Structure 1
Amino acid sequence: MVINWSARELDVFLTLAETLSFRRTADQVHLSQPAVSGLISRLEETLGVRLFDRTTRSVQLTGAGQVFVEQVRLLRHQSDEAVRAVRNVAELQVGQVVLAALPSLAATVVPVAFARFELQFPAIRLQVVDILSGPAFDLVRAGQVEFALTAANPAYADLDYTPLASDGFVLLVPVTHPLAASRQPLSWSEVAALTHISMPLPSSVRQYADAALLAHRVRFTPRYEVEHLATINAMVAAGLGVAALPELAAAVAPQRGLVQRRLVDPDMPRPIGLVTRRGRSLSPASAAMVEFLRQEMRTTLRGPAIDHG
């Protein structure tokens, strides 16, 4: 037996079960009395049992009708709960956002975006995994995070990449350094021979620095290679060298007595993008978080965020 009842039909049945009057039911559900009668007859025909005993003077539920009333009320309650649950997700009343982000992003734009998001949507659980681009792709692919903020475009058929912003490079120098006196941009060729502190490969910071100096036929050979941005800042502040970093990376764990100089020729904007699983849409909460992150990057970075909305 194929059951194909609409919520409207079940609501008409419940109204008749409460009023026990075809006339009052017709008035309440805005149908004609013949339409209500025909609808009830179709229900009874489908079920193969009479739901109401009708006379010219009265309408009464049968025993089967009373059982059906209980089940329909339960069904309508479950339907309402399902709609309410979906609306809560859509309206950001429940849910979670789990994302991966480069350490430079996890320490700068993400906390500020989280704080603003939490004020507006306090019921949404937030979690960030600070990790490099390669492992971040694996987390997205495995479904352990819904999206990742990275500086690399994954060359994988199962992942999508959407540019969000661009992060230019600066040279971090001590305030006592001769290059700290001017505010004019510096060419990569001007700083190639300095003592550099950088991150090791395969970090995006190192890849972009290597590419910038190769444009001048110079092989990048930093004196010190360290994993953490806070360490780089501290070493520059101690006078051990200079550091070519993306703007957001230079803002991690800032030290007193440091100056930033813009690096150009070539200009090496590091793209920051959104990595998601191909064919999978973001949850309403994650889609809203992406907009908060985009706004924060627009505020933090020199240039405007790329808007693909």
Structure 2
Amino acid sequence: MAQINFGLEDLQAFVAVADKSSFRAAAEVLCISQPALSRRIDKLESALGARLFDRTTRQVSLTNLGRPFLEQARNTLDGLENAVLRLSDNAQQRRGLITVACVPSVAHHWLPDVLQRFAAQYPSVRLRVIDESANTALASVLSGEADFGLNFVGAQEPDIDFEAVAPETYVLVLPRSHRWAKRRSVRWAELADEKMVAVSRQSGNRLLLDNALAHLAQRPVAFYEANHVTGAIGLVEAGLGVAALPSLALSSSHPTLKGVALVEPEVQRMLGLIKRKDRPLQPLAATLYGMLQTPTRGKP
């Protein structure tokens, strides 16, 4: 077994520099001097026999070896912190850290209501939300970084339990001044002559729509593209086009945009709870998981 010649404070220093992309800013966060921080990084790199950062007078960036090590360092620190918190109050089972991974639309429009109710019952429990893309959320659960997740992908993963929670329908997001804003529905075929705003081809949303609409003789053409749903909404707000997006992404109180039902066909995605099959949830995480099994106010 390889001997470990660095300490916890060296890992913390490495993560802080990676987060801030700056030795000065990281030293301020850790409340140590910049030379002391540099010594910790030097010690870690020496122990690993690898350079973790590329450093210039203007910027600090991770090397090709540093990037994958950052993920492992985060998991180590989070796991240790979680273990200490749970161990220190194991008898009461009233404290700890729960990490939930989900897509941003769920984090913004649905999850807060459930977390608020959970926090009222367990005020000493800390909650961390990883609100990233569907693939990143899935990877967080698979790696163990998250206790469980809320996602639209994962059902096909052999190591994941996917429990369906609620369907979400795709709607046409358009300005309230648009000629279709007062309609109850719009057929997909009608979008052939519209300038469309779409999310990137790497997005789970885009893949789902492409598969669902593959049979249409005339498919909508994307004139503008954004990496994320929030970016697509911004382009629609700017008047550049209309977008087919999950209904949860559009707040019902949005002042300038409206969602109109898309039909023929109606396209849905299923929101589900995901967790590792081989990793039972800790009691507090299982409690929150149970609260999320039945959507209430704010459901998709």
Q: Is the 8 A contact 1:173 1:258 kept in 2?
A: yes
- Does 2:271 correspond to 1:272? yes
> Is the counterpart of residue 283 in structure 1 residue 287 in structure 2?
no
Secondary structure of 2:124's counterpart equals: coil
Rounded Cα–Cα distance in structure 2 between residues aligned with 1:220 and 1:276: 36
Question: How far did residue 229 of structure 1 move?
Answer: 2.8
1:299 maps to 297
CA deviations over 1:124-172 (Å, ceiling 9, x no partner): 1100111122222222122111112111134332222111111111111
* Cα RMSD (Å): 2.5
Q: Distance in 2 between matches of 1:111 and 1:262?
A: 26
Q: Distance in 2 between matches of 1:133 and 1:173?
A: 24
Deviations 1:3-28 (A, max 9, x none): xxxxxxxxxxxxxxxxxxxxxxxxxx
Say whether the 8 Å CA contact 2:198–2:224 is kept in structure 1: yes
Cα contact 1:165–1:294 (8 A) shared by 2: no
Deviations 1:186-239 (A, max 9, x none): 222222331111110221221222233323234443111112333322221221
For residues 192 and 209 of structure 2, what CA distance do their matches in structure 1 show? 10
What is the CA distance between 1:85 and its match in structure 2? 5.2
How far is 1:255 from its partner? Answer: 4.3
Q: Distance in 2 between matches of 1:117 and 1:161?
A: 22
What is the match of residue 45 of structure 1? none
Residue of structure 2 in register with 1:88 after alignment: 92
Q: Deviations over 1:90-144 (max 9, x none)?
A: xxx1222101101111221122222222122101110011112222222212211
> What is the DSSP-based 3-state SS (H/G/I as helix, E as strand, rest coil) of the residue aligned with 1:281?
coil
Report deviation, 1:257. Answer: 1.9
Moved more, 282-291 or 260-269: 282-291
Task: Give the superposition deviation at 1:240.
Answer: 0.9
Q: Give structure 2 stretches of 5+ with no counterpart.
A: 1-87
What CA distance in whole angstroms lies between the structure 2 residues aligned with 1:286 and 1:136?
Answer: 17
The answer to whether residue 243 in structure 2 is matched with residue 243 in structure 1 is yes
The separation in 1 between residues aligned to 2:191 and 2:264, in whole angstroms, is 11
Partners of 2:181 and 2:246 lie apart in 1 by 18
Q: Does structure 2 conserve the Cα–Cα contact (< 8 Å) formed by 1:213 and 1:220?
A: no
Q: In structure 2, what is the equivalent of residue 97 of structure 1?
A: 98
* 8 Å CA contact 1:140, 1:275 repeated in 2: yes
Residue type matched to 1:170 in 2?
V
Counterpart for residue 166 of structure 2: 165
On the 8 A contact 1:146/1:286 being kept in 2, the answer is: yes
The answer to whether the Cα contact below 8 Å between 1:165 and 1:298 also exists between their aligned partners in 2 is no
Matches of residues 15-30 of structure 1 in structure 2 within 5 Å?
A: none
Inter-partner Cα distance in structure 2 for 1:108 and 1:228? 16
Corresponding residue for 2:212?
212
Shift of 1:288: 2.1
Check the 8 A contact 2:173/2:245 in 1, yes or no: yes
Is 1:149 the counterpart of 2:158? The answer is no
Shift in alpha-carbon separation, 1:112–1:216, aligned structure 2, 3 A: same
Question: Aligned residue for 1:196?
Answer: 196
- Structure 1: distance between partners of 2:213 and 2:120: 44
Q: Structure 1 residues 269, 164: closer, same or farther in 2, change over 3 A?
A: same
Does the 8 Å CA contact 1:146/1:276 hold for their aligned counterparts? yes
Tell me if 1:180 matches 2:178. no
- Rg comparison, structure with higher value: 1
The aligned amino acid for 1:284 is P
Structure 1 unaligned spans of 5+: 1-83, 303-309
Contact 2:148 2:274 in 1 (8 A): yes
Once the two structures are aligned, what percentage of the paired residues are identical? 30
Structure 1 Cα separation of the partners of residues 123 and 89 of structure 2: 17
TM-score, normalising length: structure 1: 0.63
Contact 1:196/1:243, CA 8 A, preserved across alignment: yes
Q: How many residues align?
A: 215
Q: Tell me how far apart the structure 2 counterparts of residues 294 and 191 of structure 1 sit (CA, whole Å).
A: 36
